Amino acid sequence: AELRKASKRLSCHKRYKIQKKIREHHRKVRKEAKKRGHKKPKKDPGVPSAAPFKEELLREAEQRKQRLEELKQKQKLNRQKEHEKKRKLEAKKNAAKIKEKAEGKGSSGKSKGKTNKQLNKNSKKWFCRELNKVLEASDVVLEVLDARDPVGCRCPQLEQAVTSSGGNKKLLLVLNKIDLVPKDNVEKWLNYLKKEFPTVAFKSATLMKDKTTEQFTKRRARVDLSKTSQCFGSKCLLKLLQEYGKTLNKAIQVGVVGFPNVGKSSIINSLKGLRACNVSIARGVTKSMQIVHIDKQTKMLDSPSIIADPSNSALALALRSIIDTEESGSADVLEAVNAIINHCSKQQVMMHYSMPDFRNPEEFLSLLAQKRGMLKKGGVPDIESIAKLVLCDWTGGKTSYHSQPPGSQAPPPYLTEQKIAEIQESFNLKNLEEENSNTVQALKYPSPSSSITFQSAGMTNGTIEENKVIEEGSEWKNMGRTEEEEEEEEEEEDEEEEFTESDDDQDDVEEEENYVIEVNEALALVSLIHDFLFSEGEHATSLSFSLDKPGEEDDAYDFNTDYV
C-alpha cells in the first residue's frame, strides 16, 4: 500500500506544552534585553550651518564624486574595448586554423594526424567518429527503423559499410514503434523488409524503472502497460542474438545505430530491463559510445545518431537531422514543419487536430496556435512555439502517422543476392517469423482513420566518414568576411589603443584617493568644532540649519558616508 504523509495534528497536552515553552522563552529574552539596557542610536543632525567652510566642503565633495564617476566609466569602457579586441583576435586565429586545415587535407595526408585532436562532443565530426567506433567493434549491427517511415530511416551508406566490411559482421533491421501505426501497415512493412534483411518487430518500453526507483504499486496497476512500461519483441531479439553468438562460440558485441529519435537507447533499456542509457524527446542526447552488458554472452553498444547529409530533401532533413528546437532558429523549424504538412493528407491532418480548412502550412500553424491558446501580446499567434511543438510531436512518439511500402521492390546495388543469402543463413528465420507474428498480435494499434497517411521521401543519405562532414558553426562565419570588414576592425583596434588606460590615469586615481583622505580629515575637524560649540542640547535645537541651498539637500548629504 502507498504510504501516507504523517498528520500534523497534535494532542492538546503537547500543544499547550509548546505554547508554554514559547512564552517562557519570550519572557527570558525580554528580561535579558532589559538588563542590557537597549539604547536607540541617536540620529546625527549633520554639520550645523554655523560651522566654517561648510559650503566649500560640500561643493568640493560633489565635484570630487563626479570626477571619480567619470573616471570609473572611462575605465569600464576601456575594459569593454579590450574584451572586444581579444574576442576579435581569437576569431581571426580560429579562421586561420580552419583555412590551414582545409588546405592541409587537400595537399597531403596529414589529416590522419589531425583527427586525433580533441573535438567538441556536440560536433558532427565527433558523432561520426563515435559511430565508426561502434561499427568497428560490433559483430552484429542493429539498424533501428521508425515504423511510421521505415524507408526514410534506412541509410544506404551505413548498410553498404556494414555489408562490404568483410568478416562475419551481420546487419539486422529492428522495426521500432510499431504501436503507432495500423496493424496491416506493420505486416506489410515486415513482409517488405524481410526480403533484404532479417527484421524484428519491436515496441520498446516508454516508462522505464531506474535502479533507484521503486516498483509500481497496486493502485497503478490499471495503467495500460502496452503503452507505458511493457515492451514487446525483446525476447525474440535476445533469442536471435544468443543463437548467433553460440554459432560463433564467443561473446558478441551488438551495435545499435540509426537516425535521431528512432529509439536506439530505448531498445537497449528494454533489453536490459532498466534505464541504462539516457532517453529524451530531444535529438542527439547520446553523444558517445556506451557499453551495456545484457548477459555474459551479449554486450550492447549504444551509438550517437547518424548525421543526415545536407543534400537530402527538406522532408528527410526535417525528420532525420539533429535539430534542437530550443537552440535552432525559427526558420529551420518552420521549414521542417512546412515540409511535413505538405507530404500529408490534408483532410486527415484536419481531423487529427480538429481544425477547419487551411490554405497553407503557415495558416495551419496560426489556427493551431489560436486553438491551443499559444498567443503573444495583442492576441498574435505564436507561430514559432507551435511549430516547435508540432515538430516534437512528429519526431517523438505522440503523433500517429504511417507510410505505405513501395509497389515494386528492387534491392540496392550494394546488396546482391549472394549477400542477402549469407545474412539470412546466419539466423533462424522461421522462429523469427513466428515471434514477429506473436508480437504483432499482442499489441493494440491505432485505427487507420486516426493515423495520418504520409508520403515517404525514400532512403535518407547519411554521412559516416569524418572527412566528409561539414560543420555549421560560428567558425565558418568568420571565413566569409570581406576586406572592408577587416579594415574596419583594424581602425577600431587603433582607436582602442588610444583609449587604453595609461600611467597618467593611474596617477590621477591616486591623487583623487589622497584628496578624499584630506576631505575626510577636514570633515572630522568640523565635527569636533560642532561638538565643542554646541554641547548643550538647547543651543543645538535652537540653531537654524538654513543655507543658500534648500534644507532637503543638506539632509540628503551624510558626512559619515564615503561617497567615493
- Residue pLDDT, tens place only, 355-369: 888 888 888 899 999
Fill in the amino acid letter for 299: K
Quick one: cell of 213? 526507483
Report which of residues 17 and 117 the model is more confident about.
17
- Residue 12 pLDDT > 90: yes
How far is the C-alpha of 507 from the C-alpha of 475, rounded, in Å? 42
Instruction: Supply the mean pLDDT for the chain.
Output: 76
C-alpha distances out from residue 368 to 269, 353, 375, 385, Å: 35, 8, 10, 11
SS3 201: strand
Query: Looking at the chain, how many residues does it have?
Result: 564
Asked if 139 and 255 touch (Cβ cutoff 8 Å), the reply is no
List % helix, strand, coil for the chain (3-state, nearest 5): 55, 10, 40
Tell me, yes or no, if the pTM score tops 0.85: no
How far is the C-alpha of 151 from the C-alpha of 162, rounded, in Å? 18
SS3 152: helix
How far is the C-alpha of 297 from the C-alpha of 249, rounded, in Å? 9
User: What confidence score (pLDDT) does residue 23 get?
Assistant: 97
Task: Please give the average per-residue pLDDT across 129-142, as a whole number.
Answer: 88
How far is the C-alpha of 89 from the C-alpha of 92, rounded, in Å? 5
Q: What percent of the chain has pLDDT over 70?
A: 71
User: What confidence score (pLDDT) does residue 359 get?
Assistant: 86
User: What confidence score (pLDDT) does residue 517 get?
Assistant: 58
Fold of 314-395: Conserved Hypothetical Protein Ylqf; Chain: A; domain 2 (1.10.1580)
Task: Please give the average per-residue pLDDT across 9-22, as a whole number.
Answer: 95
pLDDT tens-digit series, residues 366-380 = 999 998 888 888 889
User: What confidence score (pLDDT) does residue 22 get?
Assistant: 97
User: 226: Cβ–Cβ under 8 A, 6 or more apart, which residues?
Assistant: 179, 203, 232, 442, 443, 444
SS3 557: coil
Question: Measuring CA to CA, which residue among 185, 174, 146, 145 is closest to residue 450?
Answer: 185
How do the domains of the chain map onto residue ranges?
A: 124-206+228-310+415-446+456-467, 314-395
- Determine which of 38-47, 154-163, 408-417 has the lowest per-residue pLDDT on average: 38-47
> If you average pLDDT over each of 61-65, 74-78, 158-162, which comes out highest?
74-78
pLDDT tens-digit series, residues 404-450 = 888 777 778 788 888 888 888 888 888 888 888 888 888 888 888 88
CATH architecture of residue range(s) 124-206+228-310+415-446+456-467:
3-Layer(aba) Sandwich (3.40)
The DSSP bridge partners found for residue 293 are 299
pLDDT tens-digit series, residues 233-276 = 888 888 888 888 888 888 889 999 998 888 888 888 888 888 88
Dihedral (CA of 339, 345, 346, 352) sign: negative
> If you average pLDDT over each of 96-105, 143-152, 302-311, 320-329, which comes out highest?
143-152
